[in-house]
Amino acid sequence: MTINPIIEKPIPTEQEEQLKILFYLADTLGYSMDEYFYTFDSVHYERWVIAERLYPILEEEYELKNTVEISDKYRMEVIDEIIKTHF
């Protein structure tokens, strides 16, 4: 399984350098990026997979393109649901 970026946009130089290091490390260990994240960083891997599938749905539902705005709106929606359910 290959994970595609949620939104294709230029990566800031700082993040690009960090990604280069991760790609190098994964390649040196003989892993694909998916395998590397799943094996060594499963929490981030799971969040990445969820986001890859969830963000396009939320983007359409909220009619937003900015991932930060989508995250904030979804976070507030989840908090509201927790409060409704438990209080």
Q: Look at residue 3 in the predicted model and tell me its pLDDT.
A: 66
What is the number of domains present in the chain? 1
Establish if 3 belongs to a structural domain: no
> In the predicted model, is pLDDT for residue 57 greater than 90?
yes
Q: Look at residue 11 in the predicted model and tell me its pLDDT.
A: 57
> In the predicted model, is pLDDT for residue 70 greater than 60?
yes
Mean of pLDDT over the chain: 82
- Say how far residue 60 (Cα) sits from the centre of its chain: 17
Contacts of 58 (CB under 8 A, 6+ apart): 64, 70, 73, 74
Establish if 8 belongs to a structural domain: no
Establish if 1 belongs to a structural domain: no
Establish if 66 belongs to a structural domain: yes
Range of the domain at 75: 13-86
Q: Look at residue 60 in the predicted model and tell me its pLDDT.
A: 94
Establish if 67 belongs to a structural domain: yes
Establish if 78 belongs to a structural domain: yes
Name the burial class of residue 78, with classes exposed (0-12), middle (13-18) and buried (19+) by CB atoms within 10 angstroms of its CB.
exposed
Establish if 2 belongs to a structural domain: no
